[in-house]
Structure 1
Amino acid sequence: MPFRSVIKYRVIFRVLSFLLIFESLFLSTGIFVAWYFDEAMMPFIYSVAVTLGLGIISWYIFGRTTKKGIGKREGYLIVGLSWILMSLFGALPYLFSGAIPSFTDAFFETISGFTTTGASILSDIEILPKSILYWRAMTHWIGGMGIIVLTVAILPFLGIGGMQLLVAEMPGITPDRLHPRITATAKRLWGIYVIFTIAEVLLLWAGEMNLFDSICHAFATMATGGFSTKNDSIAGFSAYSQYIIIIFMLLAGINFTLHYLALHRRFTKIWANEEFKAYISVIVVISLIITIGLIFFMNEGIEKAFRDALFTVVSIITTTGFVSTDYIIWPGYLWMLIFALMFLGGSAGSTGGGIKIVRHLLLIKNSWLELKRALHPNAIIPVKFNGKAISQNIIFNVLAFFIIYVLIFAMGTIALSVMGYDFETSIGATIASLGNIGPGIGGVGPVENYGFFAAGAKWLLSFLMLLGRLELFTILIILSPAFWKQ
C-alpha cells in the first residue's frame, strides 16, 4: 500500500500549524514584557512574525482534514514532532536577541525548557534581558503539563478527537480519571495548574521577591523545571521563599488527579493512594537522614540543615532541579542518596519527570510476588495496586520500561565518555537529562552548567531530554521500522 495511505499527513500538519499559531500567542507576551522593562522588542516581534506567519500559511494549506481524525500513528507523530517544532521556534528569541547566538545552544536551552529539564548552557543568567528570562521561564510553564495536554482542551475546535494524543503524551500508568471526556479532563488539570501558579506568585511576592522573579520562579516550580532568574538559583533567597517553593514543588510532584480529589474533599481516597504514601515517605525518610548528617558532619544549625535537606530532596525527587546548596560538597553517602533519588522521579500524572514512583512500586511488588510464586508454583497471586489487580500486560510494560531506561542510560553514559568527558560527568549529565532533572553530578553538578559540552554532546543530551519527557516509548515507537508499515 502506498506510504501516504498509512499516515494522514493533512491531519498532522494541521495540528502542527495550529501549535505554531498557539506558540506565537505565548511569544507575543514577551513583546509586552520587553516594552515594560524598556528592552528591545524586535527579537520577539520577529519571532512572532516568523512563527505566526508559518503557522497561518500551513493552516491555510492543510486546513482541510478528514473526518476520521487521529489514529495511533498520527497521534504519536504529532506528539513527538510537537516538542521538536515548539523547541525550534521557541529558540528564535534567543537567536534574534543575540542572547544565545549559537543555534545548537539556543535549541538546547529551549528544549530543556519545554521538557522541563532545566539544564542550561548559560554561565551568567543575570546579564540577560528580563524579557528573555521571562520567555525562558515560560517554556517551562508551557511544557509543564505537556504541550499536547494543553492542546487537547482546544482540539474540538480543530474538529478532531484528542484521546490518542493524551495516551501518547502520558503512556504511564494513570488508573484514575477525572472525567470521561478528555477535553474536560484537560481543562480541569489546567485549572488546577493555573490556580497553583497564581497562588505561588502571590506568596513569593509577599516575601522579598519582586513580581517578575515571583512569576518566573512560579512558572518553573509548577512545571518542575528549575530555570531561575539568578545565578545562585534559589540559594540567594530567604528561608521564607525557599519554604514556599518547597511546598509547591511537593504539590507539582503529586498526581494531579489527587489535587482534583482534594478539591472535592475526598481525602480518604488520597491517603489510600499507594504512590502518594510512598512519595511522602521517601521524602520524609531521606530528608531526616540528610538533616542528621548535615548537623553532625557539616556543623549546620538544625533549621538550616533541615531546610537544605528538604529542599534538595524535594527538588531532585520531583525533578525540578532548583538549587539551594551545593550538595556535591556534602559527605559522600549524603550526596549519593541525592544521586539515587535521580532514578526515582515524581508521581505519575504529575509534572515531574523520571521513572516515576508507581513503576518502582510495581517492580518491587512483582519481584516480591515472584519469590512467593517460587515457593508456591501453583498459586495465582496477582500484583495489586491501590487495591486493584494489575494486568500482566502492565507489569510487562513496566519491566520493559526499566530495561530500556537502564540501556539508554548506559548508552548515553558510554557515548559521552567516548567523546572525552570524565565518567562522573557522563553519568551525571545522562541521568539529569534523561530524568529531566537538570543538575547532576561531576561537571554538571548543582553549581555548574552544560555550556562546556561540544555540539555533538548537546544534541545527544537534547535527544535524551525528549526521550525522558515522552516516557521513552513515544519516540522509540516512531523510530521503529514497524511503525512505518501498514
Structure 2
Amino acid sequence: MNSGIIIYLLGWIMNIEALFLMIPCLTAAVYGESIGFCYLAVAAACGLIGFLCVRKKPASKVFFAREGFVTVSLGWIILSLFGCMPFLLGGEITRFEDALFEIVSGFTTTGASILDKVEDLSKASLIWRSFSHWIGGMGILVFLLAVLPMTGDYNMHIMRAESPGPSVGKLVPKIRFTAKLLYSIYLFLTVVMFLLLLAGKMPLFDSLCMTFGAAGTGGFSCRNFGQAGYTAYQQNVITIFMLLFGVNFNVYYLFLIRKPKDAFKCEELRGYLVIVVAAIVLITLNTWGMFPDLRTAVHHVAFQVASIITTTGYSTVDFNQWPEFSKTLLLGIMFIGACAGSTGGGMKVSRVMIAFKEIKKELASVIHPRSVKVLKYEGKALDHNTLRSINAFIIVYFIILGVSVLLVSLDNFDFGTSFSAVVATLNNIGPGISEVGPAANFSGLSAMSKWVLIFDMLAGRLELFPMLVLLSPGTWIKR
C-alpha cells in the first residue's frame, strides 16, 4: 500500500477543513460569540497537522482502488473527528458520541440530530452544522480533486470511492476538470436557491442554512420549528431545489452542452420523476382529509416526498401522524433515494431500476429457457462487473441493515423506532418514524446505538464498500 500518498491526501483534507472552519469563525465574529475561539483553535490544529503531512511529497503518486477506498474512508473519519471538536470545546454538546453523531450526520448529509432545541446553539455552530451538509453533499475528496493539481488515472479511484451510484464516469476526459465541472454546477444551483429565498424575504442567516441543507440534501434546521414556520413561497423554493439536487448532475451537463433531448432521454431521470409524482398523488389522496383543502395537501405532501426521496429530511408537518399507508410509502422511497451522481442518498433510482430489469430478465429465462436477452440501461448493454457490483451492494446493504436493527433493538424501543432509525441513517435521510420521527430526535438512544448509527451514516454516504475495505484485515496485509 502506498501510505505516502494517503498521508499526503489526508494532509490536504486537514488543510481544506481548516479553511472551511473559518466560516463559523467569521460568523462568531459577526454575532460577537466567544465560541469562535474554539473554532479558531480547531482550525489552527487542522492547519498545523495538514501542513506537516503535505510538507514532504510522496515518492510515488500512483495508487489503486485499495488506496482510494482507504483514503476516502479515513478522510471522512478525520474530517468528522476534528469537525465535532468545537461542539465539545464550547460546551454546547458535552458527550463525545453525541458531538460526533451530530457532525457525522452533517457531513454525511443525514440530518439526524441529538439536539432538543437547536436554537440553543450559537450562530457559529448552527452555520457549521448546515455548512457541513454542503461540504459533504458533493464530497470533500471531489473538492480536493477540483483544486489540487494532480495527474494520472488513479484519481478515478478517489472519484469512484466517494461518488454515489453503481458506476462513475468522467464528464470530460480529465478527472480534475470533471470535478471542477461538478462543483461549478453545484455552486451555481446553490447560489440561485439562496437568491430566491432572499427574494422571498427569508432572513439572511436562515437562507444560508436552508440552502446549505437543501444543496447537500442534508436536513439540519436552524429553527426549533423546522421548516413549518416559513411561508408557502419559501417552502416551494425548498421543494423544487431538493428535487433538483436529487437529479444526476450528468443531466445538467447535457443541458450545459446544449443537448436537452439527450437529458430527457435519461432513463433514471424519467424513473425518478415517475416515482415522485406517483408518491405525491397516492399520499395526497390518502391524507387529503387531514388538510384544509386540496391545494394545502398537495403543497405539504410534495414537500415531504421531495424531502424523503432526496434524503434531505426537512419537514413542514409531522408525517408521523399520517395514516399507515402514507408512512409506508414514505418508508419505501426512503430505500430508493435519489439519482446516482446527485447529492442524495439511498440505494439510488438506477440500482432499483436495474434490479427490476434483472428480475424481469430472470422471469423471462424461466419461461423461455433458450432465449438470450441482453440487459440494457440508458440504451447501453450492462456489463457483468456493473451487475455484479449492484447485486453485491444490495446484499451487503441488507446485511448491514439487519445487523444494525438487531443491535439498536437492544435499546428496547418499538420496532418502528429501531427499524426506521437504521433506515434513516443508512440512507442518510434524517428523521424516521415513531420515537425518531420529525417531531423527535435521536437523543434517547443509547451510546452503543449511536455508534452503530454513526457507522451506518458513514457507510451509507460512502456506498458501503469503502468503510468495509477499511475494516478488512486484508487491506493492511502487504503483498
Q: TM-score range by the shorter chain?
A: over 0.9
Deviation (angstroms), 1:206? 1.1
Deviation (angstroms), 1:143? 0.5
Q: Deviations over 1:297-338 (max 9, x none)?
A: 324311110011101111000000001111111111111111
1:387 to 347, 369, 379: 379
Alignment match, 2:43: 48
Query: Partner amino acid for 2:102?
Result: E
Q: Deviations over 1:111-140 (max 9, x none)?
A: 110100011111100121111101111111
SS at match of 1:343: helix
Distance (Å, rounded) in 1 between the aligned partners of 2:445 and 2:355: 35
Alignment match, 1:324: 316
In the alignment, is the contact (CA less than 8 A) between 2:164 and 2:342 conserved in 1? no
TM score, norm. by length of structure 1: 0.95
Alignment match, 1:83: 76
Is 1:184 matched with 2:193?
Answer: no
Return 251-260 or 32-41, whichever deviates more. 32-41
Return 220-229 or 34-43, whichever deviates more. 34-43
1:482 to 469, 474, 477: 474
Return 164-173 or 43-52, whichever deviates more. 164-173
Alignment match, 2:123: 130
Query: Partner amino acid for 1:448?
Result: A
Deviation (angstroms), 1:424? 1.3
Identify if the C-alpha distance between structure 1 residues 67 and 9 changes in structure 2 by more than 3 Å, giving closer, same or farther.
closer
Alignment match, 1:26: 20
Return 332-341 or 235-244, whichever deviates more. 332-341
Ranges of 4+ aligned residues in structure 1 off by more than 6 Å: none
Q: Deviations over 1:243-276 (max 9, x none)?
A: 0001110110000110111222311111111110
1:421 to 395, 409, 413: 413
In the alignment, is the contact (CA less than 8 A) between 2:14 and 2:46 conserved in 1? yes
Distance (Å, rounded) in 2 between the aligned partners of 1:161 and 1:56: 23
SS at match of 1:342: helix
Distance (Å, rounded) in 2 between the aligned partners of 1:52 and 1:460: 30
SS at match of 2:376: strand
TM score, norm. by length of structure 2: 0.96
Query: Partner amino acid for 1:288?
Result: V
Alignment match, 2:404: 412
Deviation (angstroms), 1:400? 1.7
In the alignment, is the contact (CA less than 8 A) between 1:232 and 1:447 conserved in 2? no
Distance (Å, rounded) in 1 between the aligned partners of 2:269 and 2:68: 30
Distance (Å, rounded) in 2 between the aligned partners of 1:283 and 1:171: 20
Q: Deviations over 1:204-236 (max 9, x none)?
A: 111131111101110110100001101121111
1:266 to 259, 268, 275: 259
In the alignment, is the contact (CA less than 8 A) between 1:365 and 1:383 conserved in 2? yes
In the alignment, is the contact (CA less than 8 A) between 2:320 and 2:327 conserved in 1? yes
Identify if the C-alpha distance between structure 1 residues 179 and 21 changes in structure 2 by more than 3 Å, giving closer, same or farther.
same
Alignment match, 1:255: 248
Query: Partner amino acid for 1:26?
Result: F
Deviation (angstroms), 1:441? 1.0
Q: Deviations over 1:319-368 (max 9, x none)?
A: 00001111111111111111111111100000001100000100101100
Alignment match, 1:292: 285
Matched positions, count: 477
Alignment match, 1:225: 218
Unpaired stretches in structure 1, ≥5 consecutive residues: 1-6
| Percent of pairs with identical residues | 41
SS at match of 2:149: helix
Is 1:239 matched with 2:232?
Answer: yes
Distance (Å, rounded) in 1 between the aligned partners of 2:169 and 2:2: 31
In the alignment, is the contact (CA less than 8 A) between 1:21 and 1:52 conserved in 2? yes
Distance (Å, rounded) in 1 between the aligned partners of 2:361 and 2:401: 27
In the alignment, is the contact (CA less than 8 A) between 2:318 and 2:439 conserved in 1? yes
Distance (Å, rounded) in 1 between the aligned partners of 2:132 and 2:61: 32
Alignment match, 2:365: 373
Deviation (angstroms), 1:12? 1.0
Return 8-17 or 137-146, whichever deviates more. 8-17
Aligned 1:16-165 pairs, distance under 5 A = 16-40=10-34, 41-60=36-55, 63-156=56-149, 162-165=155-158
Cα RMSD for the two superposed structures = 1.6
Distance (Å, rounded) in 2 between the aligned partners of 1:275 and 1:158: 32
Deviation (angstroms), 1:455? 1.2
Q: Deviations over 1:150-208 (max 9, x none)?
A: 11113325999522111211363346631111100000000011111111111111113
Return 38-47 or 120-129, whichever deviates more. 38-47
Deviation (angstroms), 1:423? 1.5
1:8 to 2, 5, 13: 2
